[in-house]
Structure 1
Amino acid sequence: MIATDVAGTGEIIEHKANGMLIKPGDVNALSEALEYMLIDKTKLRQMGIEGRKTIENKFLMEKYVNDLQDIIIKTVK
């Protein structure tokens, strides 16, 4: 994934780990990110795998439910 570094995007995407972050309006950075991904297909695949892990770990409904249950249990005790 290539995304601009605005709002909360940087909290989800770690540059060159699970995607590429570029400054808004930076056409050269976008071009470089695209080239990087097209040239290094192994790294591209690894970033995809890491991106999926990030989403699964942070945003799946099961995680929210488990976290909420933990909060409720701690509050009730």
Structure 2
Amino acid sequence: MITARQSRAARALLGWTQETLADKARVSLTALKRLESENGFDVFETTRDGVRRALESAGIVLLSTEKGEGVLLLHQADQPG
């Protein structure tokens, strides 16, 4: 499950605005703002799934362990290391 912090961090790594991610995830901007809020708003699982899929297709890997969470941006194969 993607968290608010992971979504914001992934967008920062990609240089995406909320509008860009909402468009790519095919969710409303309001739904994305609810997901990225720290206020504990209810978020539909379809919203989380759409955002996760959009980020993963852009090279983001969501990390989650008992010690914390994070994101990783994979380098494209055609880019130098």
Structure number having the greater helix percentage: 1
Structure number having the greater strand percentage: 2
Band of TM-score, shorter chain: 0.3 to 0.5
TM-score for both structures, normalised by structure 1: 0.40
Larger Rg: 1 or 2?
1
Q: Which has the higher contact order (CA 8 A, sep 6+)?
A: 2
TM-score for both structures, normalised by structure 2: 0.39
